[in-house]
Amino acid sequence: MAISYIKLWKLLLDNKMKKTDLLSLADISTTTLAKLSKDLPVSMEVMSRICHALSCDIGDVMEIIPDKKGD
């Protein structure tokens, strides 16, 4: 399964925010931001801080993409 944070980036755009704004707002590191940018897994603690900072639910910022059958 793959992870996608495209919903997070769309939410930031809708709120006229930059990725760097998320660093301070959610108190995350640049390393974590890099992981998010590459659709790599991050801890639930980080996801919780992002959701709290943006006043949203986890489904509003990420999704799990199932593997395609036959690949």
Please give the helix or strand (H or E) that residue 25 lies within, else none.
helix 19-26
What pLDDT is recorded for position 33? 96
With a cut of 50, list the residues of the chain below it in pLDDT.
none
What pLDDT is recorded for position 69? 75
What pLDDT is recorded for position 26? 96
What pLDDT is recorded for position 55? 96
Closest CA to 22 of 40, 43, 47: 47
What pLDDT is recorded for position 67? 85
39 Ramachandran zone, left/alpha/beta (phi>0; psi -120 to 50)? left
The answer to whether residues 12 and 21 touch, using CB atoms and an 8 Å cutoff, is yes
State how far the Cα of 53 lies from the Cα of 71, in Å rounded to an integer. 37
What pLDDT is recorded for position 71? 53
What pLDDT is recorded for position 70? 57
